[in-house]
């Protein structure tokens, strides 16, 4: 049997955690997720898993389409 591939949320979680503190653009995140509903998966990471993912609505130095995972405070 073939091993099941990771889901989009898992791919995005891993990518964010590998790039903590870096600005990430929406095109890159779309490619990483491999699905059109990548933004929904990012919201799930933020709302359901508690990742501190910020957008231009949260920080003035981010442009529309840029996201940023804050360093963990724990």
The per-residue pLDDT for range 27-72, each reduced to its tens digit, is 999 999 999 999 999 999 999 999 999 999 999 999 999 999 998 6
How many Cβ atoms from other residues are within 10 Å of residue 28's Cβ?
A: 15
- Enter the pTM of the model: 0.86
Query: Locate tokens 């929406």: which residue?
Result: 26
Q: Is residue 2 part of a domain?
A: no
Residue 19 has pLDDT above 50, yes or no: yes
Q: Is residue 50 part of a domain?
A: yes
Q: Is residue 1 part of a domain?
A: no
Q: Is residue 65 part of a domain?
A: yes
Residue 5 has pLDDT above 80, yes or no: no
Do the Cβ atoms of 24 and 67 come closer than 8 Å?
A: yes
- d(CA 14, CA 9) in angstroms, rounded, equals 9
pLDDT of residue 4: 61
pLDDT of residue 74: 44
Domain that residue 28 falls in: 8-69
Q: What is the domain count for the chain?
A: 1
């Amino acid at each position: 049997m073939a091993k099941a591939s990771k889901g989009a949320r898992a791919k995005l979680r891993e990518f964010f955690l590998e790039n903590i503190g870096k600005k990430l653009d929406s095109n890159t995140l779309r490619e990483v997720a491999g699905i059109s509903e990548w933004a929904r998966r990012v919201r799930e990471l933020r709302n359901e898993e508690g990742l501190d993912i910020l957008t231009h609505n949260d920080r003035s130095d981010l442009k529309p389409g840029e996201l940023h995972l804050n360093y963990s405070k724990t």
